[in-house]
């Protein structure tokens, strides 16, 4: 099994920064074999891809709307992936989910088999 636990969400104002963390654990979790990603689900909308990172952190990919504002990174020694968010906007308000999958750099929800419970990020204007 793989367990993913997100933390770091909260209520912030537009323009602020926030860092989300996702701690991974479990008998079958192997940092060196799994891509990690962040997805989000805005109120009343479907879950959407935010950013992904390959197993060694060399390759990353993010949705266009967060390019230059969000940075995904990972520390395999700590089995943790991060999402550094800056210049936050009200439209970034969502529940943010961490996900893990085998593969190079999956970007769709269907490609991820392990999910966290989510952490709420609310950006006020």
Could you read off the pLDDT of 7-65 as tens digits, one per residue? 999 999 999 999 999 999 988 777 778 999 999 999 999 999 999 999 999 999 999 99
Is 3 within 8 Å of 25 (Cβ atoms)? Answer: yes
Could you read off the pLDDT of 64-106 as tens digits, one per residue? 999 999 999 999 999 999 999 999 999 999 999 999 998 889 9
């Amino acid at each position: 099994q793989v367990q993913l636990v997100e933390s770091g969400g909260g209520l912030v104002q537009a323009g602020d920064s926030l860092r989300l963390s996702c701690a991974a654990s479990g008998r079958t979790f192997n940092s060196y074999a799994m891509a990690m990603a962040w997805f989000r689900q805005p109120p009343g909308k479907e879950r959407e891809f935010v950013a992904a990172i390959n197993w060694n952190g060399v390759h990353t990919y993010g949705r266009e709307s967060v390019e230059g504002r969000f940075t995904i990174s990972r520390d395999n020694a700590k089995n943790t992936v991060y999402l550094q968010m800056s210049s936050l906007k009200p439209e970034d308000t969502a529940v943010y989910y961490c996900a893990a999958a085998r593969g190079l750099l999956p970007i769709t929800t269907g490609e991820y088999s392990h999910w966290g419970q989510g952490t709420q990020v609310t950006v006020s204007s």
